[in-house]
Copies of this chain bind each other. A is one copy, B any other.
């Protein structure tokens, strides 16, 4: 039960984007700051753009900026943009009908459904702006525990 690096990278990158006071920021800069692969990040940003989370400007001096304000971008938006639908178990995936053909395999389907809804709700109710303020708080009061 894991989110992949994609979600984490995307969130880190967006936070980085927010942190710069510039209107926009180039991938090169983000990738440099976070020490991530520029090409890999680019793929993620492609998805973020398709999802309407960022807008891109091409050419010299171009880059990305947020397409919406912080409050209207949820963590769920970001995650689903780069990782696809959240399904705690494969059989919840509506796309692939071939799962869950066997009733007894999915005795626990209701359980997974509830769990999944819960996770989704939690991620949905958390905005990028929540993340930012939480991070600022943490920075000014780093409570011992190593990060």
- Cβ of A11 and Cβ of B88 under 8 Å apart? no
**How many angstroms between the C-alpha atoms of A86 and B123 in the bound complex?**
17
Q: In angstroms, how far is the closest chain B Cβ from the Cβ of A11?
A: 5
Quick check: is A3 within 8 A (CB to CB) of the other chain?
yes
Q: Can you add 15 more A-B contacts, CB < 8 Å, to A15-B107, A100-B147, A108-B131?
A: A1-B3, A1-B87, A1-B88, A2-B90, A3-B89, A8-B108, A11-B108, A12-B104, A34-B104, A75-B111, A109-B147, A110-B138, A118-B119, A118-B122, A119-B119
- Residues of A with Cβ closer than 8 Å to B? 1-3, 5, 7-8, 11-12, 15-16, 33-35, 75, 79, 83, 86-91, 100, 102-112, 114-115, 118-119, 122-123, 126, 131, 134-135, 138, 147
